[in-house]
Structure 1
Amino acid sequence: MFSSSPPPSTPLTSGPQAQPIALGELDPAAQGSAAAPSLVTSLHPIHQVKATLQVCVGTATVTVGELMAAKEHQVLQLDRDIQHPVDLLLEGQVIARGQLVAVDGRFAVRLTELPAPLSLGAPAQP
């Protein structure tokens, strides 16, 4: 499970640089319509609730013995390929998927898979 030398990797900065966006820019209802309110700028109280998202890049299964024998600079190989999307989790549930990118020297996620937008007060569609 552990290896003493790092595997070849693809730099996160190769290719086009990602641009950070506000979540309101992802609202399909707001696209192409200046009158449609953005999710982020809406005055509805529920839109002001903050949530912490976690990004899961993969998992690894190791024995306690392997973990206790780990040395600094050893590499723990995860169960995902570099090109595989990462999961965005809210309260342990996958709510979206994306691609790891670099923005201003920091990790970021380019959203690639989003669920259908939810609407407050609208009845659920069968």
Structure 2
Amino acid sequence: MTKTGNPQAVEDFDWEKTPEGEHHSPTPTGDAFGAEPIPESSAATPKEKKEKVSSMEILLDIPLEISAELGRTRMIISDLLQLGQGSVIELNKLAGEPLEILVNQKLIARGEVVVVNEKFGIRLTDIISPLERIKQLG
């Protein structure tokens, strides 16, 4: 058992000692894998780990624009200029189809309209996989 109480936590395991008390190298040398082990001096110090956490905290405070898209359409300028109060614009989606949730204009999820405290909301029904999101960036 490790300090954290998690038998799977490899970072807390003392790799230098076996149950018999013998000292062994934790991993094979570079000959076995074609690479040299990382020297201890390049391992992250507690200060560096704290700096990484601070960097993550900074990222968590970045504001993002989130929007929900009901549908789209195209029209020519003359039709756009004829729109008035009470005009209906036909969209490309059917009634009941999921809305698209966009973060910084990139699709990340789909959902359905709900009412929360007399305001519109969206219940997420499908989250786009990270691989699909990465493909959108390219």
> TM range, normalised to the smaller chain?
0.5 to 0.7
C-alpha distance in 1, partners of 2:129/2:84?
45
Identity over aligned residues, as a percent? 23
How many residue pairs align between the two structures? Answer: 77
2:73 is the counterpart of 1:60: yes
Report the CA distance shift for 1:64/1:103 in structure 2 as closer, same or farther (over 3 A): same
Higher alpha-carbon Rg: 2
Q: What TM-score do the two structures reach when normalised by structure 1?
A: 0.53
Superposition map of 1:79-90 within 5 A:
79-90=92-103
Report the aligned-residue RMSD. 2.3
Which 5+ residue runs of structure 2 have no aligned equivalent?
1-53, 131-138
Highest RCO, 1 vs 2 (Cα 8 Å, sep ≥ 6): 1
CA distance in 1, matches of 2:105, 2:65: 11
- What is aligned with 2:26? none
Name the TM-score, length of structure 2 as normaliser. Answer: 0.49
Q: Tell me whether 1:48 sits opposite 2:57 in the alignment.
A: no
Moved over 2 A (4+): 46-50
Is the helix fraction higher in 1 or 2? Answer: 2
Matched, 1:104 2:117: yes
Q: Deviation of residue 116 (structure 1)?
A: 4.8
